[in-house]
């Protein structure tokens, strides 16, 4: 299924014609509201004009609905239930928003999100998303390459990793009133992973601003890694020489490695990672086989050349 490996899927790759005709109307409506300027509407015009029926293989890759993507979430700052984030995140203030960028950079400081957005190019990326809990979705993100932001800050030669932190604001994030996790939620990437063109900072879904439950206003998306690496509502990035501590790795290093690349051959100690349940597939849907690097191996496998993937999981 070569379509899975295309870094940027277009609507015509993932959606049978009848569906993207419907989506086209939906998306044109969203574009008319002026939510976020993006090339999506133009792309959909082209797709809608194209001839040919969708085939069953690509139909399986149809993006999940906005309803599915925004009602089944992991965001422990709002609670541990899958519907807690959608129920309890409405009160989160996401504007104004700033990201502190520090550590081994030429221009450390507080970067206003509005300024950042004036300096990067937003584009749509339709990515597969695989949670370590063995469920998956296909999400049409809007965002920009993380490398653009790192270039703005100026990464110094000694930097080898990027550490990320989520906002701490218990008044607006009710889950933070409990010690479920050691707040803030922390994540990290090796610098080459962070600079990879598939790695994006998402600011929207379906051409709309990112809903709070999905990590508004700015979250990481690393499509070849388990979902917990894709940290939400980011307020700080630190360039470091040493591998930074990360939330799930600190809780249980045996179960959650620093790398956490999607790998059907390395089981989680408590369950197999060989297959996944697609959200929205219905109760009796067949589980789908999980793909190495979540289907992005052609682009990213070389980052891990010579590494023992069972050891560095
Ligand atoms: N980021 C923060 N700050 N807090 C979280 O609890 N959960 C992670 C990740 N990022 C999480 C987070 C996990 S386990 C997953 S699977 C994804 O977010 C879920 O993203 P989604 O809700 O947009 O599907």
Tell me if residue 184 falls in helix, strand or coil: coil
CA of 46 to the centre of ligand 1 (A): 34
Walking along the chain (313 residues) 10 residues at a time, the average pLDDT comes out as 42 53 42 34 36 43 94 98 98 98 98 98 97 97 98 98 98 98 98 98 96 98 98 99 98 97 97 96 89 98 96 91
55 CB neighbour count, 10 Å cutoff:
9
Cα angle value 9/150/37 (rounded, 5°) = 45
Counted residue by residue, the chain has a size of 313
**Residue 134 and residue 278 in contact, taking contact as beta carbons nearer than 8 Å:** no
Residue with the nearest Cα to atom 8 of ligand 1?
228
**Residue 177 and residue 126 in contact, taking contact as beta carbons nearer than 8 Å:** no
User: Which of 135, 215, 221, 225 has most ligand 1 atoms within 8 Å of its beta carbon, as the pocket-test mutant?
Assistant: 215
Enter the tokens of residue 229: 């690496």
Q: Could you report the per-residue pLDDT of 182-210, keeping only the tens digit for each?
A: 999 999 999 999 999 999 999 999 989 99
Residue with the nearest Cα to atom 22 of ligand 1?
73
Distance, in Å, from the CA atom of 5 to the CA atom of 21, rounded to the nearest integer, reads: 24
Sign of CA dihedral 37, 146, 125, 187: negative
pLDDT at 12: 57
Q: Could you report the per-residue pLDDT of 92-135, keeping only the tens digit for each?
A: 999 999 999 999 999 999 999 999 999 999 999 999 999 999 99
């Amino acid at each position: 299924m070569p379509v899975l490996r295309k870094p940027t899927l277009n609507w015509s790759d993932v959606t049978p014609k009848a569906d993207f005709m419907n989506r086209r109307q939906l998306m044109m409506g969203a574009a008319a509201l002026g939510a976020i300027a993006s090339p999506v509407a133009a792309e959909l015009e082209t797709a809608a004009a194209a001839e040919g029926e969708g085939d069953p293989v690509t139909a399986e890759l149809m993006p999940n609905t906005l309803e599915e993507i925004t009602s089944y979430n992991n965001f422990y700052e709002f609670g541990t239930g899958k519907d807690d984030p959608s129920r309890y995140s409405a009160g989160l203030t996401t504007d104004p928003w700033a990201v502190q960028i520090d550590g081994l950079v030429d221009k450390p400081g507080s970067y206003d999100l509005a300024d950042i957005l004036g300096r990067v190019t937003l584009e749509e990326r339709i990515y597969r998303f695989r949670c370590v809990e063995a469920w998956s979705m296909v999400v049409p993100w809007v965002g920009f390459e993380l490398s653009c932001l790192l270039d703005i800050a100026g990464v110094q030669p000694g930097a080898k990793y990027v550490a990320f932190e989520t906002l701490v604001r218990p008044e607006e994030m009710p889950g933070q009133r409990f010690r479920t996790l050691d707040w803030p939620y922390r994540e990290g990437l090796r610098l080459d992973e962070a600079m990879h063109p598939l790695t994006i900072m998402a600011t929207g879904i379906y051409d709309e601003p990112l809903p709070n439950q999905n990590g508004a206003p700015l979250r990481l998306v690393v499509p070849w890694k388990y979902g917990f690496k894709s940290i939400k509502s980011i307020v700080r990035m630190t360039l470091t020489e040493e591998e930074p501590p990360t939330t799930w790795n600190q809780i249980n290093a045996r179960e959650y490695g620093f790398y956490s690349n999607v790998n059907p051959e390395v089981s989680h100690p408590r369950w197999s990672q060989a297959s996944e349940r697609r959200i929205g597939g219905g109760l009796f849907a067949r589980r789908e086989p999980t793909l190495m690097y979540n289907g992005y191996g052609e682009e990213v496998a070389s980052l891990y050349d010579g590494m023992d993937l069972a050891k560095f999981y």
